[in-house]
């Protein structure tokens, strides 16, 4: 199931584009799934993600904004 989280403005000082953020409830990857060359995926718990953010290892502001929206909508519970 897909849930719209909101629309964000990544750089209001210079640009007029917007980012549409969604939370998608998904199951296991399909058996035939082939990851994109050069990209690595890693699943982490909300607690592990919070630690990555606090340690400065997850720093993309656009992704952090989407995570905050997901938390505010009640889809994830990020520990302090």
Q: Residue 69, Cβ neighbours under 10 Å: how many?
A: 20
Looking at residue 35, its pLDDT comes to 85
**pLDDT tens digits, residue range 34-43?**
889 999 888 8
Q: Compute the distance between CA of residue 2 and CA of residue 26 in angstroms, rounded to an integer.
A: 9
**pLDDT tens digits, residue range 60-69?**
998 999 999 9
pLDDT at 77 over 90: yes
What residue ranges do the domains of the chain occupy? 1-24+43-80
| Predicted model pTM | 0.79
Q: What share of the chain is helix, strand, coil (3-state, %, to 5)?
A: 25, 15, 60
Q: Compute the distance between CA of residue 35 and CA of residue 41 in angstroms, rounded to an integer.
A: 8
């Amino acid at each position: 199931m897909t849930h719209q989280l909101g629309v964000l403005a990544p750089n209001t000082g210079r640009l007029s584009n917007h980012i549409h953020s969604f939370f998608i409830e998904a199951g296991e990857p399909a058996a035939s799934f082939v990851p994109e060359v050069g990209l690595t995926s890693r699943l982490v718990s909300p607690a592990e993600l919070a630690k990555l953010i606090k340690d400065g290892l997850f720093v993309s502001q656009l992704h952090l904004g989407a995570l905050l929206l997901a938390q505010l909508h009640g889809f994830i519970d990020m520990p302090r």
